[in-house]
Structure 1
Amino acid sequence: MTAPSQEQPPPTPYGTPDAPRIAVRGEAHLEVDPEIARIGITVTSRGKDRGTALDDLTRRNAGVLDLIKTYGDAVERLETGALSLSPELKDKGRGERVHAYHGHVHITAALTDFTALGELTTRLADLELTRVDGPSWALRPDSPAHREARQQAVREAVQRAREYAEALGTSLAALVELADTGTENPPPPPAGGRMRSMAYGTPEDTTATPLDLEPQRQHVHAEVNARFTMTPPQL
């Protein structure tokens, strides 16, 4: 007959006199250059009938896409979002009579070459019935800046725990727990940097000088909670 196993008592979260614990928090704040700039392009058309409005929208949309694609590797991602073609009803008169049709298509482009960014945004805004919003600056999810922030937060937690132990005339013995409370890169505002938005262009616009855009620095934050045991101090 086997002897019943004795259950080990759960460890106390506050340690024991023989293995006192230290609980600390480590934080890191970095300010780094962005890696990506995103711009939103809205192409618009208007026509007396549905076919005309749709044809104009298709032509302008193709022109915008062709222009963006000429920048090659400088454009990391190009996506078409919402598209709409809606009637405008007359305010007066009986029945539902259509006055005109309005078309809209939204395009998003992400660029990694910020030198080309100013030229592209200016050329896009110079197109007929085309609006540009942005840029919004960001880091990639796998950016080395996130890793560096996490590592700095851990180092700060260890250093802080050592300082507490030294104040008691002792030293750290072992790491009990390390908890990642999250690394975050606050999302950039809809329009960052020097350029806010550029309104619709007209065919009569002259070629504008490329905008000089200054990237918006990104703030990266990391935080960890850590628990250590230390050698019992002589109090």
Structure 2
Amino acid sequence: MTQEHPTPEAPQVTVRGEGRLEVDPELAQVWVTVAVRGTDRAAALADLTGRNARVLDLLKAQGTSVEKVETGSLSIAPDLGRRGRGERVQSYRGRVLVKAELTDFTVLGELVARLADLEMTSVEGPWWALRPDSPAYAEARRLAVTEAVQRARAYAEALGTSLASLLELSDAGADRGPMSRDMGYGGGPVAFAAEAAGVAPALDLEPQRQTVTAEVVARFTMRPPAL
């Protein structure tokens, strides 16, 4: 039967353990925004469709280097004039967002440059990440448990005794690692736009190492010390 409350015959010690390690990223995400503006709605929509297709073709041409391609959002809306009482359409604005996730970083620099060189196209990223099932998380948890055991043993040895049994082991918090745009991939994005650059730049993008941590709380019983 588990001893829930400490007694002189079964004293307890509760410790916290932390595992922390830095590892290379496994994924890189870039966001590509294609824009269009024109006075004719049908023509603007056709231009947006064509520009979006060119982005998708370029991404798909990378083969297995690009693991995932998703359309984030699409919009096309009239731009109304501000003068006069009537609703007069001056132009039509459209945009589409495409998200791409890469596993091969050797093609990333060239790909970003080629995407940014497309007409009316801007690129944000990269955001570096680990896979949700990355072995790094399990390793961080193992390190956290190891530290908790070592810390508890140190307390027991300071009392001239040793650990007897484990009563409880629990997470002190979820594993932490930068895993999304909102969680801060790679310390923040860099934006690239063809209109600003003029020509495709030569980009050297170095992957940023990811920090993964895990924390546990462990409770042990000790053999009665001779105080």
What's the TM-score bracket when you normalise by the shorter of the two chains? Answer: over 0.9
Equivalence for 2:151:
160
Paired letter, 1:45: V
Equivalence for 2:119:
128
Paired letter, 2:220: F
Q: Report % sequence identity.
A: 59
Cα distance in 2 for partners of 1:124, 1:71 equals 12
Cα distance in 2 for partners of 1:96, 1:217 equals 53
Equivalence for 2:90:
99
- Give the deviation of 1:91 after TM superposition: 1.8
Question: Which has the higher Rg, Structure 1 or Structure 2?
Answer: 1
Paired letter, 1:211: L
- Give the deviation of 1:186 after TM superposition: 3.7
User: Which residue, 216, 222, 225 being the options, matches 1:230?
Assistant: 222
Equivalence for 2:30:
39
- Give the deviation of 1:47 after TM superposition: 1.1
Paired letter, 1:213: L
Q: Any conservation in 2 of the 1:34–1:139 contact (CA below 8 Å)? A: yes
1:217–1:50 CA distance, 2 compared to 1 (3 A): same
Corresponding position: 1:215 with 2:214: no
TM-score (norm 1): 0.89
User: Which residue, 128, 131, 140 being the options, matches 1:149?
Assistant: 140
- Give the deviation of 1:210 after TM superposition: 3.3
Structure 1 segments of 4+ aligned residues over 6 angstroms from their partners = none
> Residues 129-208 of structure 1: matches in 2 within 5 Å?
129-181=120-172, 182-187=174-179, 192=186, 196-201=190-195, 205-206=198-199, 208=200
Q: Could you say what secondary structure the match of 1:201 adopts?
A: helix
- Give the deviation of 1:191 after TM superposition: 6.4
Q: Any conservation in 2 of the 1:35–1:137 contact (CA below 8 Å)? A: yes
| Range with greater deviation from structure 2 (26-35 or 105-114) | 26-35
TM-score (norm 2): 0.93
Q: CA RMSD in A?
A: 2.0
